[in-house]
Amino acid sequence: MDERDIKYIEEKLGRKLNKIELAMFENLWSEHCAYRSSKKLLRIFSKTINEKTNKDIVVGIGDDAAVIRLNKDICLALAMESHNHPSYIDPYNGAATGVGGIVRDVLSMGARPIALLDPLRFGNPFGEEGEKVRWLIDGVVRGIGDYGNRIGVPTVGGEVEFDDSFNFNNLVNVVCIGLVREKEIIRGKIDKPGYSLILVGSTGRDGIGGASFASKDLTEESEEDRPSVQIGDAFTEKCLIDAILEAVKTGKVKAMKDLGAAGLSGASTEMCLSGCILNLNNVILREPLTPYEIMISESQERMLLAVEKGSEEEIIKIFEKYNLPASVIGETTDNKRIIAKYNGEVVVDLPIDLLTNAPLYDREEKADIREKIDDKNKIPLVDLKDAILKILESPNICSREWVYSQYDYDVQIRTVVKPGKDAAVLKIDELYPMGIGLATDCNSRFCKLNPYIGSVYSVSECVRNLATVGAKPIAMLDNLNFGNPEKPERYWQLKKCIEGLAEACYAFEIPVVGGNVSLYNETIINIKDYPINPTPAVAIIGKIEDVEKIPGIFIKPREGDILIITNETKDEMGGSEYYKVIHNTECGIVPRVNLRKEKQIYDKVRKLINKSLITGAKDCSRGGLAIALAKFCINYNVGLDVNLSEYNKNNLREDILLFSETSGRIILSVRPENVEDILKEIDGFVIGKVGKDKLNISINNKNISITLEELKDKYYSGFPKIMGELE
């Protein structure tokens, strides 16, 4: 705790803090819990909530999860969290408990978890830290897979990005989606006295001080913080899911809160707005603990419930049926204080408003745009076929099958479009053929070069991915991963990224309904700082009217189908994979986004898909047009015959045309008889047709020909090479 904070608190209280109370403030006033550097900035997102976007928001920002009405009384609970620091110190347990925590956030709304997504960031697997990076990848993926598989919640999507900036701070963000009927929604707050508090789960010594640990830079000594990493038990979590949903059905549960950051201290103060009194002797322990440890332990698989008086025995019997320990540990009061007793003595007596309203910081900011115009004379033209194949197997482009093959993405049998495509798709049995599309995105390199533009681009790319499956965006979550906000350049990055996300969501009419802020992702080694790239990871959920009309499900590309691209390509090479992989540079202009035009493009693509007029669709982003064409071939197992000479109206050099990552482009395949009608609907360009088993590209009398077998070999061998499994 900052000495000024302690002085401020003790002046408000008129007395000294005891050890337990000090620990409670240390955790609840930490950046992780209180958002002291970011809360003022997050108010910018309010512009995305308006009369166009708020009609289906049932629960907005401020609860464990947001709830969006999908159709009739069927709602989706949505939450996104990070477990970055723990996953660097202990990748397996850090990632596993990240999954467990986000699942409980959704569960606490009374929702059944139905899907997970995992946006991940790792360092350079081929650099000096390569061995450590591979160890982290292995541990994180196994942690996510083992926990998600064992609790029966499918991991259906996500992303993996590699960059040197993540060498000492890998990022593990997790999204969970749940299904709940509107009348069964439970809130995480209660403001009335007289309700009994039941704590489900046993409390141990693991995870003590986790919130404060997550609110500081890592150092060479951070291994000593390993006890701050929680240990998960997936079998217990599976039992907890079933038991909680059964308890909710009784109608006796009036509020519920996951015990996450700050443990019992956090859950009780955030839930019991009118006040509460706790008897710590009634907390079920795994081992002897002090009151200090009981209050701030972050042991996993625990929930705090506020239930009607007289229903305690009924509710506890439900948990006993699932072999889950549960006990009445207190009740809500009307004095707006948290009072905790142990052995008959008061060990905590604090006003809840003071605990939950830490003073906010006004940070200094300093602009740090790194975008610079590149000198094309210093970027030599290379063999284009070799460049395509080299980029296709590079870390940020290659197949993630190595990752998602460890996940059970079919459990619950809702998954229609599986991992590996632009967006995941789930059918909602209660509303079939309606479904939902799920996508996550963030280009951290763009955000480093120009935080505002990079954030706008990330939202646009996510919307574009959803458009390829016919999904209309209905809500967005964000996970804001940044370095030390006390440094003016880092704070400026945070501010500009939030502004970019808000502006893009406003234009696309997407409400920002929740998320997470993870700061201090910055390591100090030998007095040198190693901050991560600014990484505002976004997850957007979209509604699909008919999952059977998605390209590749029942309607598929066939030889002779015509290829159309939806937007022109510009000379925007800054931060491109081509520049990084082939020329080891990041210079240049980051792609700009015409929000009005792109909204029109994505709306029209979605409508064409819903009319069953599109046989194949592929987003064009990382790697540019060449990689999008290659992935189209791989995804649909077809060849393509492409002529870009006429399309190249800007007379771009061949490598720029192929590898620029200009926003707003989707490659579509359509039946020949529908081309004329489609071009009346959408301002697109015909660039070729579906062929047999080769990708043939012609530009200005230059021809590139790559067999489908060559494309697949490079694409699928990339990740095994990262992990040292292939030469």
3-state SS string for 151-214? HCCCEEEEEEEECHHHCCCCEEEEEEEEEEEHHHCCCCCECCCCCEEEEECCECCCCCCHHHHC
State the sign of the Cα–Cα–Cα–Cα dihedral 29, 35, 41, 44.
negative
pLDDT of residue 224: 53
pLDDT digit string, tens, across residues 18-33: 999 999 999 999 999 9
Catalytic-labelled residue, pool 21, 23, 25, 32: 32
At 493, the pLDDT band (50, 70, 90 cuts) reads very high
**Residues near 450 by Cβ (< 8 Å), separated by ≥ 6?**
369, 370, 371, 574, 590
* Percentage of the chain exceeding pLDDT 70: 97
pLDDT at position 582 over 90: yes
pLDDT digit string, tens, across residues 411-427: 999 999 999 999 999 99
pLDDT of residue 377: 82
HSE-CB at 406 with a 13 A cutoff on CA atoms is 15
What tokens were used for 42? 């997050």
At 206, the pLDDT band (50, 70, 90 cuts) reads confident
pLDDT of residue 216: 54
Q: How far is the C-alpha of 538 from the C-alpha of 536, rounded, in Å?
A: 6
pLDDT at position 329 over 60: yes
Q: How far is the C-alpha of 434 from the C-alpha of 189, rounded, in Å?
A: 32
C-alpha 567 chain-centroid distance:
28
pLDDT of residue 221: 56
- Residue 512 domain-assigned? no
C-alpha 724 chain-centroid distance:
27
- For 394, phi then psi, to 5°, come to -75, 160
pLDDT of residue 534: 98
Q: How far is the C-alpha of 54 from the C-alpha of 75, rounded, in Å?
A: 14
Q: Average of pLDDT values for 392-408?
A: 98
* Active-site residue, 32 included: yes
pLDDT digit string, tens, across residues 134-179: 999 999 999 999 999 999 999 999 999 999 999 999 999 999 999 9
At 126, the pLDDT band (50, 70, 90 cuts) reads very high
- Residue 531 domain-assigned? no
The mean pLDDT value of the chain amounts to 95
pLDDT of residue 209: 60
HSE-CB at 211 with a 13 A cutoff on CA atoms is 28
* Active-site residue, 583 included: no
pLDDT digit string, tens, across residues 583-608: 999 999 999 999 999 999 999 999 99
pLDDT digit string, tens, across residues 518-571: 999 999 988 889 999 999 999 999 999 999 999 999 999 999 999 999 999 999
The answer to whether the beta carbons of residues 659 and 574 sit under 8 Å apart is: no
At 1, the pLDDT band (50, 70, 90 cuts) reads confident
- Residue 287 domain-assigned? yes
- For 631, phi then psi, to 5°, come to -70, -30
Pairing of strands 535-544, 435-441: antiparallel
Could you tell me the strand order of the sheet in which 326-332 lies?
253-258, 303-307, 196-200, 326-332, 276-279, 337-342, 345-351
* 35 φψ region: left (φ > 0), alpha (ψ -120 to 50), beta (else): left
pLDDT of residue 223: 55
The count of residues in the chain is: 727
The count of domains in the chain is: 1
- Residue 314 domain-assigned? yes
- Residue 727 domain-assigned? no
At 374, the pLDDT band (50, 70, 90 cuts) reads confident
pLDDT at position 633 over 70: yes
Rg (CA), the chain: 26
Q: How far is the C-alpha of 642 from the C-alpha of 623, rounded, in Å?
A: 17
What tokens were used for 345? 């003595």
pLDDT at position 465 over 80: yes
pLDDT at position 5 over 70: yes
Q: Which of 540, 512, 506, 678 lies closest to 605 in space, CA to CA?
A: 678
- Residue 326 domain-assigned? yes
pLDDT of residue 415: 97
Helix (H, G, I), strand (E, B) or coil at 263: helix
pLDDT of residue 101: 96
Catalytic-labelled residue, pool 24, 38, 76, 83: 83
- Residue 475 domain-assigned? no
What is the residue range of 293's domain? Answer: 193-333
pLDDT at position 727 over 80: no
pLDDT digit string, tens, across residues 208-227: 765 555 455 566 555 555 45
- Burial-class residue 680 by CB neighbours within 10 Å (0-12, 13-18, 19+): exposed
CATH classification of the domain holding 278: 3.90.650.10
**Residues near 232 by Cβ (< 8 Å), separated by ≥ 6?**
93, 96, 97, 99, 100, 147, 300, 301
Neighbour count for residue 23 (Cβ, 10 Å): 22
Specify the higher pLDDT residue, 398 or 231: 398
At 440, the pLDDT band (50, 70, 90 cuts) reads very high
pLDDT at position 81 over 80: yes
- Residue 257 domain-assigned? yes
Alpha helices in 254-409 (DSSP H): 263-271, 291-296, 312-321, 352-356, 384-392, 401-404
